[in-house]
Amino acid sequence: MSHSAAELAKYLEAGLSGNRSAQISGVASPERATASDLIYVDSERHLGRAEKSAASCILARPGTRAAGKTIIEVKDPKLAFAKAAVWLLPAAAPAPGVHSTAIVPPTARLGASVSISAYVVLEDGVEIGRNAIIEPFCFIGRGARIGDDCRLHPRVTLYAGARLGNRVEVHAGATIGSDGFGYVPGDGRQWKFPQIGSVEVGDDVEIGAGATIDRGSLESTVIGKGVKIDNLVHIAHNVNVGEHTVIAAQTGISGSSTLGKNVVVGGQVGIADHCTLEDGAVAGAQAGIPTGKIIRSGQTVWGTPARPLDRFKQQYAWFARLPELAARLRKLEDAQGNR
Amino acid sequence: MSHSAAELAKYLEAGLSGNRSAQISGVASPERATASDLIYVDSERHLGRAEKSAASCILARPGTRAAGKTIIEVKDPKLAFAKAAVWLLPAAAPAPGVHSTAIVPPTARLGASVSISAYVVLEDGVEIGRNAIIEPFCFIGRGARIGDDCRLHPRVTLYAGARLGNRVEVHAGATIGSDGFGYVPGDGRQWKFPQIGSVEVGDDVEIGAGATIDRGSLESTVIGKGVKIDNLVHIAHNVNVGEHTVIAAQTGISGSSTLGKNVVVGGQVGIADHCTLEDGAVAGAQAGIPTGKIIRSGQTVWGTPARPLDRFKQQYAWFARLPELAARLRKLEDAQGNR
Amino acid sequence: MSHSAAELAKYLEAGLSGNRSAQISGVASPERATASDLIYVDSERHLGRAEKSAASCILARPGTRAAGKTIIEVKDPKLAFAKAAVWLLPAAAPAPGVHSTAIVPPTARLGASVSISAYVVLEDGVEIGRNAIIEPFCFIGRGARIGDDCRLHPRVTLYAGARLGNRVEVHAGATIGSDGFGYVPGDGRQWKFPQIGSVEVGDDVEIGAGATIDRGSLESTVIGKGVKIDNLVHIAHNVNVGEHTVIAAQTGISGSSTLGKNVVVGGQVGIADHCTLEDGAVAGAQAGIPTGKIIRSGQTVWGTPARPLDRFKQQYAWFARLPELAARLRKLEDAQGNR
């Protein structure tokens, strides 16, 4: 499907300079663009790439000009590019319907226009909202609920009772609602603490490939609306993640920790149990946050054990100069010895 | 199913104070409990939560009293709660039988009362013990053996020849017996070292979602009985993990390392190859244990490279004071310069 | 299948001392070997193990002798052992053919002698090369291409358009071509940046169980030929990995980073976005390489933030002596105070 530059400018509530009827049907990087691909320029530095591009239409800051190009003028070109892509490129989706090999018990309730692919297994009492897409090898356990417009890529597993909101996208191989890791030692062995809580995922969440989110032990594990979780992230029982928080790949969050809204967690971060990251806190990649620690709103931390970024950098600068400090200390000692 | 407080006290070999016929049918946290849910109180501090709860029956230390509540008196309430939960709440299990879509070759041997769900694939010579539950999309490779009372959640993969003991529970998406990561460089490329050993998992082991346990190269990878492995843990070829050891999420153990009995490994720990963690050793979260290192029995280590916890804390305290130390050193130098 | 020592020596272009007609049908460690298993000795220190072994034939350095044993003389016994194993032990493979439960649309193109196992789903336009083996529960998305002689173990997922070269082996549960993790914040939420690039995997690559390789956003994610990727590794959008590079378990590589040829990356390493590791660079286990960092050709780094290994070791040695340095500083201060 193709749109004119004028239609796109209208959709983005943006100004336009150039050819109003330039046709746009895709998005691309400047180097890969054809005439009908939209590109964006985020800074003056990259304007040359855009000018050399075959693209006829560019998202750029107001006032930007490029010879022979149509400019759609926006304050945040990268954001506008992301919005335009959603509008121009609806995700390829299988046709609605239930494949003959899907196992759908009579107690399952399916919304209108759902797509249930081959080799999907639904257990008793499952509910799936309208327009949801369930790809092959997904398993939806007893009583689990999936909202409207969700997409589960191949081999996603929801354990019994797990609940997803609307417009949730879960990538291949993610597991939601597995038992938490809780044991009580006694009689020379480990006794499993009951892991019978639920897991609730809010609207507009995206969950990466291979990620695991455990059910609560006695309470619930809660993922707030708009949260974005990268590949191979682990979220333990009873964790609570606030709205629009972003968690990068391979991070692990231990039991009963709470993340506020708009928290940003880098990759491979380890958050121990019972921690609190207040709204807007930031944890740098590989940071390790010890048990019970509170990271204040808006604070950025790094290192293991995690500390405020400025402090960490200062300390680390001296760490790098330790051999020099030691030599200076030796020199003072020698001077004293010689006195 | 419901039990009386007296029956539960008998099962736990515990004292009882209050209503012997109070009925108990579940477990819960104090805040979520109904009258028939068992709760527990671990410390005086939490007694108020229990008193305000709707629960009629509380597991607590001997001598504890709460108005209107029946107390089952035990030395370790959390442990008793875990035991009671196992007794009160048998895991929901599919009915025995082999689903019509399961692929079971004539050479496979199935024990009595097994449950083989839809879309399970067994290869030649597989053996599965009695009462075992194999959920959808599990793949059991040629000659693999699964003991009695095991449960494999959806899409668990056992490569050819992998062996599980009795009462092993494996969560969704775990892989057992994949090839180890061993190569020999030569002629400008990497040659795969043979990965033809086996993997043996003992009784009462639990393995988390997405975990991977590689087969041995020429020897075996061995997981001792009672070991608990969290989500997304990686265990490499020829590793040997002793009985009742606990390994938290996202930890990786490299080739040929040996963990003793009752070792505790935190989350995101990295154990390099040929390490030894003796019985009862503890590795704190994110610790990095270098190649060949030996951690002595009962020792707790932290940091990368890992060192005894006390030593690490002392060193780290000075790390945090490095800017101060540097300033003090400068002051001494200035004083000397002025002399 | 059995070969004589003379045949093996010829295959390896090696010398031979002893019984030319000794029969060899397998490989093993010295302790597990039977008379017909080949073993190898890498150093004088291990010669005793070989002499005590039941094996009749040993790969060893030229001039090595062991009573009653046939010696095949090679410069690099471990490398020769790896090559011999490939020759002696072809991997067990399912018979060619397409299982009746596999879903193969008419638009899919299958090469000669492919093996498509039970419960495999191919989407439209998939191409699979000759002799390829696709095991149960694999999902190959629309238009994806798989080269000759590839092996996909159970439940591998290729998203639409992903491309594998020849002789690529992918272990259970790996995901190739999932959406990258890119968002643009705006209007109080996260907008998904388009993730429409491709992923291209070269010849002779091996990918570990549970690993995830994201597709490019607007460009491609590229894995060069001969690259070896361990279990649970994460590779983000637009990453470029050069030929024969080796990446150990649980490492994560963030968006748009570039690794050269023959790079060696240890386990649990974190490489932030837009980094460059030049040819032959080495990153030690758990190292953290910050955004935009360049690691020079042949350099070895360790620590977070990563620095040259020698420098790191020197700094760390002083870190361990910080309590001592602080005491010495105090002593100097006291001496000055007493003057």
Residue A233, domain member (yes or no): yes
Residue B335, domain member (yes or no): no
Chain A / chain C CB contacts < 8 angstroms: 172
Give the pLDDT band (50/70/90) at residue A46: confident
B54 and B194, same domain (yes or no): no
Q: Taking all residues of chain A, what is their mean pLDDT, rounded to a whole number? A: 96
A278 and A167, same domain (yes or no): yes
Please give the biggest Cα pair distance in chain B: 95
A90 touches chain B (CB under 8 A): no
> What's the rounded mean pLDDT across residues B280-292?
98
B123 and B223, same domain (yes or no): yes
Secondary structure of residue A319 in the 3-state scheme: helix
User: How many domains are contained in chain A?
Assistant: 2
B115 and B79, same domain (yes or no): no
B315 touches chain C (CB under 8 A): yes
With tokens 């692929």, the residue in question is: B103
Token representation of residue C54: 């039941």
Token representation of residue A13: 């509530």
> What whole-number distance in Å separates Cα of residue C155 and Cα of residue C249?
19
**Domain range spanning residue A259?**
97-311
- Parallel/antiparallel/unpaired status of strands A189-192 and A183-186: antiparallel
Instruction: Using an 8 Å CB-CB cutoff, list chain C residues near B254.
Output: 248-249, 267
Token representation of residue A312: 């960490």
Looking at chain A, the whole-number percentage of residues with pLDDT higher than 70 is 99
What's the pTM? 0.97
Q: Which of A88, A108, A125 is the last residue of a domain?
A: A88
Mention every residue, 6+ apart, whose C-beta is less than 8 A from residue A198.
Answer: A161, A162, A163, A177, A215, A216, A220, A221
* pLDDT score at A44: 81
* pLDDT score at C43: 84
B154 and B121, same domain (yes or no): yes
* pLDDT score at B93: 84
B154 touches chain A (CB under 8 A): yes
Whether C237 is a known active-site residue: answer yes
Q: Which of A88, A121, A156 is the last residue of a domain?
A: A88
C121 touches chain B (CB under 8 A): no
* pLDDT score at B338: 67
> What's the rounded mean pLDDT across residues A209-224?
98
C3, C234, C237, C244: the catalytic one is C237
pLDDT(C114) > 90? yes
CATH number at residue A29: 3.40.1390.10
C139 and C103, same domain (yes or no): yes
- Contact across the interface for B208 and A212, Cβ inside 8 Å: yes
Instruction: Using an 8 Å CB-CB cutoff, list chain A residues near B81.
Output: 184, 193-194
CATH number at residue C184: 2.160.10.10
Secondary structure of residue C334 in the 3-state scheme: helix
Interface mutation target, options C103, C156, C175, C247, chain A, most CBs of A under 10 Å? C175
C327 touches chain B (CB under 8 A): no
Q: Which of B57, B88, B119 is the last residue of a domain?
A: B88
* pLDDT score at B215: 98
Q: Is the peptide bond before A194 cis (omega within 30 degrees of 0)?
A: no
B140 and B162, same domain (yes or no): yes
B72 and B208, same domain (yes or no): no
User: For the ranges B319-323, C37-41, C131-135, which has the lowest average pLDDT?
Assistant: B319-323
In this complex, the chains that touch B, judged by 3 or more CB pairs closer than 8 A, are A, C
pLDDT(C220) > 80? yes
* pLDDT score at B299: 98
Instruction: Using an 8 Å CB-CB cutoff, list chain C residues near B184.
Output: 76, 78-79, 81-82
B50 and B176, same domain (yes or no): no
List pLDDT tens digits, range C255-292: 999 999 999 999 999 999 999 999 999 999 999 999 99
A248 and A281, same domain (yes or no): yes
- Contact across the interface for A27 and C196, Cβ inside 8 Å: yes
Residue of C nearest to B330 (CA): C329
**Closest by Cβ to B246, choosing from A142, A183, A335:** A183
C149 and C204, same domain (yes or no): yes
> What whole-number distance in Å separates Cα of residue B266 and Cα of residue A30?
46
Write down the H helix ranges in B13-91. Answer: 47-52, 77-88
Residue A201, domain member (yes or no): yes
- Contact across the interface for B181 and C118, Cβ inside 8 Å: no
A329 touches chain C (CB under 8 A): yes
Residue A316, domain member (yes or no): no
Instruction: Using an 8 Å CB-CB cutoff, list chain B residues near C320.
Output: 307, 311, 315
Contact residues, C window 198-237, toward A, CB-based 8 Å cutoff: 210, 212, 214, 218-219, 232, 234, 236
Residue of C nearest to B232 (CA): C232
> What whole-number distance in Å separates Cα of residue A320 and Cα of residue A322?
6
List pLDDT tens digits, range B5-16: 999 999 999 999
pLDDT(A338) > 80? no
- Contact across the interface for B171 and A191, Cβ inside 8 Å: no
Residue of B nearest to C269 (CA): B270
Q: Is B286 left (phi over 0), alpha (psi -120 to 50) or beta?
A: left
B3, B171, B234, B237: the catalytic one is B237
Strand order in the sheet with A57-60: A15-17, A70-73, A57-60, A37-40, A26-27
C301 and C326, same domain (yes or no): no
Residue B320, domain member (yes or no): no
pLDDT(B1) > 80? no
Contact residues, B window 235-294, toward C, CB-based 8 Å cutoff: 236, 250, 252, 254, 268, 270, 272, 286, 288, 290
B18 touches chain A (CB under 8 A): no
- Parallel/antiparallel/unpaired status of strands C212-214 and C189-192: unpaired
